Structures are given as structure tokens and as C-alpha cells.
Amino acid sequence: MSSEEIVLDKKALAQKYRLYYKICRNCGARNPPNAVKCRWCHSKNLRWKKRQRGFKK
């Protein structure tokens, strides 16, 4: 692997963990992507994290 491939793999891995998780609508806790219930309040009212493309201003 070249260093460029390693950088791209790290970026993809970072995006996976930063962008793909669920948020509890009751308490706001972050949950894993395969969660069915909230890890803190045990509510089933979960949503996916909102993802937007682009840069912060």
C-alpha cells in the first residue's frame, strides 16, 4: 500500500465513525448504527444522524 491509499482508508474510516450513528430523540445520546433501543434511556425513538456534504463556514 502506498501512503496515499493509507490516507484515503483512514479518511473513509473516520467518516464512517463520525457520520453513521443514531441519535436518541428523547435524551440525545449517540448510539451505534445497529441500535434498536437507546443505550441510556432505552427508548425506541431513534433517528439517523443528519449528514450534509460540504465544509463548515
More confident residue, 1 or 45: 45
Contact 20, 47 (CB under 8 A): no
More confident residue, 40 or 4: 40
In a domain? residue 9:
no
In a domain? residue 46:
yes
In the sheet that 46-48 helps form, which strands lie side by side, from edge to edge? 30-31, 22-24, 46-48
Count, residues in the chain: 57
In a domain? residue 4:
no
Task: Give the chain's domain count.
Answer: 1
In a domain? residue 35:
yes
pLDDT digits (tens, 9 = 90+) for 30-53: 999 999 999 999 999 999 999 887
In a domain? residue 5:
no
Nearest to 51 by CA among 36, 33, 26: 33
* 5 pLDDT more than 80: no
In a domain? residue 23:
yes
Structural domain including 23 reads: 18-51
Please tell me the pTM assigned to this model. Answer: 0.74
In a domain? residue 32:
yes
